[in-house]
A and B are shown apart, each in its own frame.
Chain A
Amino acid sequence: MTDASMQTPETGRRGTSLTATDERTRKRARAEKRFRFYGIIAIATGLFFLVVLFASILKEGIPAFTRTVVSVEFTLTPEQREEAEGTLFKTKAYSDLFIAELNKELAESGINVDFDEAAIERLLGKVGGTIRTFYADNPDKLGEPIMFDLAASSRVDGYFKGRVSRDTLQDSRFLQLSDLDLVDALKEAGIIKQAFNWPFITGADSGVDNPGGAGIGASVVGSFFMMLVVLVLSLPIGVAASIYLEEFAPQNKFTDLIEVNISNLAAVPSIVFGILGLAVFIQFMHLPQSAPLVGGLVLTLMTLPTIIISTRASLKAVPPSIRDAALGVGASKMQAVFHHVLPLAAPGILTGTIIGLAQALGETAPLLLIGMVGFVARGYPDGFLAGFTEPNSAMPAQIYTWAARADVGFYEKAWGGIIILLMFLLTMNIIAIILRRRFERRW
């Protein structure tokens, strides 16, 4: 036996040094190096586009958070008010008073500039009306000096942000070249300035010709009520369905069919759910149009498959030995599931739910079909219950509406709205991570 093996001819491998790599090994090493390189390229490309995306969103969206205001301290005595109310063109009387005040302030700063009432209207809109409404609502403020922060029109705002320049401006009913002299004078006097745009965060949508007044607050509230509906409906239904399918349901053709359909539902385009919502909830069940309740119902249908799939995956990931252990000491099936399996699956279920909610938060198409378009969000709902039924929009639908409008001022708002939406998504993801950490058992 030993003789035979000793006489076998030397193969190529024998006698070679370990430090000298052969061709085959070198080839394998090269292939591995190449593969790593591809991986790094892929990740770098992804990161590059992410950075470009964020940079462009921030660059375009940050200006939405500032606005141009004309701040004038204005005092109206009761006598002046009475006199103005006695005239035929009441708002013009107020407007004249405001212009007089503005002229006084300009003179105090030693700046001399010619302007007429029409120019003020182009800059600030109907000032007289604004002032009159204010004093009609707050008669006790008469005689006190009041600081009026009046929003400048979209083009003046654009002049400050570099969107509009003297070279590109063409005289129109919106703004004339001569008005820019007034703007410069006001700027020199410190009357017109840039300020943080609170109305963008707290306000509601405005008309198509007033991008300066548009705010996302109302649609944030709309989104909030929708998410409430989605959470309250989809979490219990989704988790109950998954537990039944995963732990209790018999394995037969019928449950197989249900499983396949749930997986397929997750891939159905969202607009199909929109049509379904329109047909069933609004046309058949006559639920109110444009209501966050209906939006929430539609998004619940969309979110359920996501929640069911992730919940089932996390139930499956619980080792069967835990179920055996519980059943072995005489726990009923339900006790085994609720005492042992569900707590172990909880982090996965919560993460899946929050990812589903985040998906629903960013969904636009189905909302457009049930009438939750941006221009509906004209104000806040009156109270909590009204929040579900009163017409409102949601953040992505609002953003879509702004992006579709002609005035460039709205373009900026759309980007700003995306920043707000991303901030909400980021918050939800952070909550998901925190919950996961908290519920995870590390033993």
Chain B
Amino acid sequence: MNDMSRVERQVDTNSIKLECRDCQVYYGDTHAIKDVNVDIEDKTVTAFIGPSGCGKSTFLRCLNRMNDTIDIARVMGSFKLDGEDIYDKRVDPVQLRAKVGMVFQKPNPFPKSIYDNVAYGPRIHGLAKNKAELDEIVEKSLRRGAIWDEVKDRLDAPGTGLSGGQQQRLCIARAVATEPEVLLMDEPCSALDPIATAQVEELIDELRSRYSVVIVTHSMQQAARVSQKTAFFHLGNLVEFGETGQIFTNPEDPRTESYITGRIG
């Protein structure tokens, strides 16, 4: 496990970006998330791991209020982004989602050109005054998405014509184009091959210098490779949350140990 050494090296104390207290989520009568308390730090990659259906994606979607689109979902508790409650009545989810970007499990570029895919967010938020500024944002975002060199000659080509890994990096570029502060990633590599996965993981590590990244993953190796903090969810409970190295080498809870050694899940 030589990955571990690298991760341990990068751990340092950052300010808390997102503070979640006593979080509960109900889907109709199902209690999907129970009493979860997590502090997500700035400029840190936080990984959520756990068996399928344990609520890690649900919890992730609470962080930018994507659960609002599900009629039967009810979210309770306090979610504070830089000290402000994101579920406050005065908060418009549109503004929140510009600050808390999201990358989904399946690459989902718009059926538009590569340029329009990235430019869409800045356009609707009015981030560019003119075409030149927009061009600049698009280039910068595609560079941050580590895909610029591959697509710079065909920005007018459809985004859906790219390979799976390229599409996912395009989606990451699209997410960073609105200058978010937190980037949520819901199993971003589960539809990708190992090479594309390696590229995206490398990208996540670079993104850490600017953003607070939260990643849901099924792959424990991936969590160990990219994250500094890891949260283990089981049956809607947050079982253990701590330094990634600590979770993987010396877990406190027996359930965590069982999961990472492959006995449950």
In the assembled complex, B111 has its CB within 8 A of some CB on chain A:
yes
* Segment of A35-43, A194-202, A329-337 engaged in the interface with chain B: A329-337
Q: Is the interface of A mostly helix, strand, loop or mixed?
A: helix
Residue with the highest number of chain B CB atoms closer than 10 Å, among A326, A330, A332: A330
Residue with the highest number of chain B CB atoms closer than 10 Å, among A321, A328, A340: A328
In the assembled complex, A145 has its CB within 8 A of some CB on chain B:
no
Task: Give complex CA distance A330, B158 in Å.
Answer: 22
In the assembled complex, B175 has its CB within 8 A of some CB on chain A:
yes
Q: Contact at B94–A324, with CB atoms within 8 Å?
A: no
Task: Give complex CA distance A391, B14 in Å.
Answer: 80
In the assembled complex, A173 has its CB within 8 A of some CB on chain B:
no
Q: Contact at B108–A322, with CB atoms within 8 Å?
A: yes
Distance from A282 Cβ to chain B, minimum over Cβ atoms (Å): 43
Q: Contact at B171–A325, with CB atoms within 8 Å?
A: yes
Task: Give complex CA distance A378, B230 in Å.
Answer: 83
What are 21 sample pairs from A and B whose C-beta atoms fall under 8 A apart? A321-B104, A322-B111, A325-B110, A325-B171, A325-B174, A327-B69, A327-B97, A328-B64, A328-B66, A328-B104, A329-B97, A329-B101, A329-B121, A329-B177, A330-B94, A330-B97, A332-B94, A344-B111, A441-B111, A443-B111, A443-B160
Task: Give complex CA distance A319, B160 in Å.
Answer: 14
In the assembled complex, B109 has its CB within 8 A of some CB on chain A:
yes
Name B108's closest neighbour in chain A (CB-CB): A321
In the assembled complex, B71 has its CB within 8 A of some CB on chain A:
yes
Residues 227-262 of A contacting B (Cβ, < 8 Å)? 250-251
Name B72's closest neighbour in chain A (CB-CB): A251
- Within 8 Å CB of A333, what residues of B? 69
- Within 8 Å CB of A328, what residues of B? 64, 66, 97, 101-104, 175
Q: Contact at A331–B101, with CB atoms within 8 Å?
A: no
Q: Contact at A339–B120, with CB atoms within 8 Å?
A: yes
The 6 closest A-B pairs by CB, nearest first: A330-B98, A329-B121, A321-B108, A443-B158, A328-B102, A330-B97
In the assembled complex, B154 has its CB within 8 A of some CB on chain A:
no
Contact (A250, B111) CB under 8 Å given A330-B97, A335-B124: no
Name B65's closest neighbour in chain A (CB-CB): A327
Distance from B96 Cβ to chain A, minimum over Cβ atoms (Å): 8
Residues 401-443 of A contacting B (Cβ, < 8 Å)? 441, 443
In the assembled complex, B178 has its CB within 8 A of some CB on chain A:
yes
Contact (A331, B94) CB under 8 Å given A344-B111, A443-B111: yes
- Within 8 Å CB of B120, what residues of A? 326, 329, 331, 339
In the assembled complex, A92 has its CB within 8 A of some CB on chain B:
no
Q: Contact at A330–B178, with CB atoms within 8 Å?
A: yes
Contact (A331, B108) CB under 8 Å given A250-B71, A323-B69: no
Partner of B95, one of A319, A330, A340, A344: A330
Name A319's closest neighbour in chain B (CB-CB): B108
- Within 8 Å CB of B104, what residues of A? 321, 324-325, 328
Task: Give complex CA distance A250, B73 in Å.
Answer: 12
- Within 8 Å CB of B66, what residues of A? 324, 327-328
Distance from B82 Cβ to chain A, minimum over Cβ atoms (Å): 17
Name B118's closest neighbour in chain A (CB-CB): A329
- Within 8 Å CB of A322, what residues of B? 108, 110-111
Task: Give complex CA distance A327, B174 in Å.
Answer: 12
Task: Give complex CA distance A319, B69 in Å.
Answer: 15
- Within 8 Å CB of A323, what residues of B? 69
- Within 8 Å CB of B103, what residues of A? 328
Task: Give complex CA distance A332, B174 in Å.
Answer: 16
Task: Give complex CA distance A251, B70 in Å.
Answer: 10
- Within 8 Å CB of A325, what residues of B? 104, 108-110, 171, 174
